Each structure stands twice: as C-alpha cells, then as structure tokens.
Structure 1
Amino acid sequence: MRLEAITWERLGDALAERLLDLKPGDGSPWPRVAFDGPPAARPGDLAQLVGEALRVRGRPSLAVDTGGFLRPASLRFEYGREDVEAYYSGWFDTAALWREVFGPLEPGGTGRVLPDLWDPAADRATRSPYVQLPPGGALLLHGPLLLGHWFPFDLTVHLRLSPAALRRRTPEEERWTLPAFERYEEETDPATAADVVVRADDPRHPAWGGLPE
C-alpha cells in the first residue's frame, strides 16, 4: 500500500467530509466508525479530531471509548493481571457494546447510546446517563482490537504502528500486552481489513493510504 504524508488536522477533516456523505449499508440513519489501534497509537485522539471537524460542519457525533466497557476486575484478572489471552479476548465487554452502543443504532433503533458502562479505576458501574444521538449523528468508537468482533461498522480506520514503534511507544508496564497485538496482526490483519490505514510510527508525521473508492 502506498502511503502519503498528511497532518492530523487534514486527516480529521478528510474523514469528516467522507462521513457527511456516508450512507450505512443496512439502512441505519447513524454512521458507525471504528478508530482501531493500540493505546500507544492514541486512536481516541483521531476520533476526537473527527468529532470536532464534524461539529463545525453542523453534524453531531458521539465518541465512545472501549475503555469504558471493560469487564470487572474479577473477570479481567481471573488468570492474573498480565494474562495475554485474557487481554486479547476477555477484557472488553463486547456483549455490552452490542447491547448498549450498536443495538440502539440499528435500523429502527432509539439512538439512545450508553457512552460508558464500567469505571476500571473504581471497579464499579459508571452510572452515566444515556446520550441521544440524533439521526445522521455518527458513532466514533475507538480502542484496540476492534476489527475482530463483527461489529457493524460503516467505516473502519486502523492506526498502524510497526512492531518497533509499538514497543518503543508502549510504556514498560504495559509491554506484556504486545503479544496480543502480534496475534491480532496474524489473525485479523487489520491493515488489510480496514477501509483506511494510517501509519503513526512518528506521532508528528502521520501518513495514510487515502479514502476507499
């Protein structure tokens, strides 16, 4: 894939412009977008940029962090705090994401989305109120390991780090998660699966492969 340099601001604008005309294939009035990438790639920052670019264009959006849908500590750490298999397949409450985020945005849904469910620091429910996303409003879901769950995304953006950059930019206390991302590369191949790929090895100088036709 040929990549070209771009600024984060221009990237946010380009993705926002694409979303203005994006029609979900299943007839839902809410475009659903994935910003997939390891924490070191900071996919949430790009989601926020796109949300702001949509706002100035008069289009509502809701950024949702999968970190707000972690399972309770008793389940995440059942096999230890650094169990790679648990991180890969058991840390995130995908059932809750289906129920509280994607379900309300199906055709005929209510549009009432729960922005988060679980506070991992306090290890208890957040009790956040539901957010009403009006028709045409975009869901901007960001987090790691997003592309292997059959979520009904209408556009997927993958922030890619080379193995060396991923190790360099991951804090030492989190490097035990690196084998999970190696497995993700092997099993999901996110750079091929995603609609848009952004190389973020140098956080100051991203590059991307452009928008899909």
Structure 2
Amino acid sequence: MRDELLSAIAGEILTRSARRVAIDGVDGAGKTRFADELAGALTDRGAPVVRASVDGFHRPRSDRHRRGRTSPEGFFRDSFDYPRLVELLIEPLGPGGSGRFVRAVHDVRAESPLELAQESAEPGAILVLDGIFTHRPELARFWDYSVWLEVPFAVSIPRVAARDYADPDPLAESNRRYVEGQRLYLAECDPRSRATVVVDNADLARPVIVT
C-alpha cells in the first residue's frame, strides 16, 4: 500500500511538471523516509532528482538558542537560515534558475559550518526537500507540490525518542521546546491547508491520503 501511494504521488508530480517538492510534518512524522522513497519513485520513472533537507540549513547554535535553550518560540522562529536556503538551493532549481545549487551549509550534529562545492542539476531535475516548517510564508510560495504528513504527537514523539534516545512522553519537559514550537507553527501557518496533499502517516506501513 505504501508503494502504491508513493507511486501515485510521483505520477501526480510528473503530470503537473512540478520542479520543487516539499515534504513537511512534525518531528518524527517520517519526512526523511517518505522523501527518500518518493525520490526513488520519481527516479524509477526516469526523472532526475535533487534530494535535500532543510536540516542542512540550520543556523548556528548561538542563533538557534538566543531566546533560550528551551524556548518553543526560538525553535519555531530561529532554527533555520531561510534566506540562504532560498538563495542557494530553492531558487536555483526553480524556473529560470541557474541549476547550480548548494545542498547544505551547516552540520547541526557537529555544530560546524559546511563549505560544500556548488553542484549542477540535470536539466529538468526535481528538488525533493524534506523538513519541518516548510509551509512557512518564507518557503510556501516556492512549492509546485507539497505533502503534509499528518501524525499525532502521541505517535511522533515516541518515534523521535526511539531514534535519539530521548523521552517518549510528549508532555515531558525535555520535549516542550519541540512540541510547543510545532504547535506555534500549526497555529500560525496551518500547513495542512497549504499542502497539495495530506497523508496520514501514523502507520508507516499503510499511509493514507486524507485530502
């Protein structure tokens, strides 16, 4: 069922001649896996793909935590360098773009800047970008096609915990920055209504299109 859904979305992207595709959802929604598999489905249909993540455009820790290490508002407003993401990756891969792009500028795990060489996309390449907050006003206008992965915090936070050895309780104080930051995003940006398609991804084996 998962393969069929991904194939259907890939077909719609190609039918629409979409060049820039975003996969959005809360932390633990399954964005990376979904984007990887969607990129594979597009490649299987003969489409060139540039696969990237918003995570490659984190701001330095000093910027991310300037409102405080546990601030939900800081998580929502200060995590990413959107001007550089647009300038170096999104605009070059859009209509009239140069096709020359930079995939990432910061390694958030190492907390160090990256100096990656500029790459050249194949003609007609489709950008498949995953990441939180990708339906913010700074980014939403660029997407030719976008997916919102609908997953409740009761499911998403335990997924994150299993991956990062963190607390699986969505109400835990250690999760407040992330859960409440996501709630700010949901309230201010309503990504569900902005996405081209909404997919219930609570059951990874059986995702379902709900709009």
TM-score, normalised to structure 2, is 0.86
Q: 1:162 Cα shift?
A: 2.2
More helix by share: 2
Q: Does 1:153 align with 2:153?
A: no
Identity score, percent: 29
Segment of structure 1 superposing worse, 127-136 or 145-154: 127-136
1:112 deviates by: 1.0
Decide which of 35, 38, 61 is 1:47's aligned counterpart: 35
- Aligned with 1:84 (options 64, 68, 72): 72
Is contact 1:33-1:140 (8 Å) kept? Answer: yes
Q: Identify if the C-alpha distance between structure 1 residues 114 and 174 changes in structure 2 by more than 3 Å, giving closer, same or farther.
A: farther
Query: How far 1:135 sits from its partner (Å)?
Result: 2.5
**In the alignment, which residue of structure 2 is the partner of 1:27?**
none
In structure 2, the partner of 1:179 is 180
1:97 aligns with 2:75: no
Query: How do 1:23-38 and structure 2 match up within 5 A?
Result: 23=17, 31-38=19-26
- Contact kept in structure 1, 2:49 and 2:127, CA below 8 Å: yes
The correspondence of residues 1-213 of structure 1 with structure 2, limited to 5 A, is 7-23=1-17, 31-151=19-139, 152-171=142-161, 172=167, 173-209=174-210
For each residue in 1:73-117, what CA deviation from the matched residue of structure 2 results, as whole angstroms up to 9, or x when unmatched? 111122332211111011111011111012212432211121111
CA RMSD of aligned residues (A): 1.8
Distance 1:67 1:162, change over 3 A: same
Alpha-carbon contact 1:167-1:175 (below 8 Å) kept: no
Q: Aligned letter for 1:12?
A: L
**116-125 or 159-168, larger mean C-alpha shift:** 159-168
For 2:94 and 2:204, how far apart are their aligned partners in 1? 35
Normalising to structure 1: TM-score of the pair? 0.85
Structure 2 residues without counterparts, runs of 5 or longer: 162-166, 168-173
Q: Would you identify which runs of 4 or more consecutive aligned residues in structure 1 move more than 6 Å?
A: none
* Residue type at the aligned position of 1:192: S
How far the C-alpha of 1:174 sits from its partner, in A, is: 4.0
Question: Number of residue pairs matched?
Answer: 198
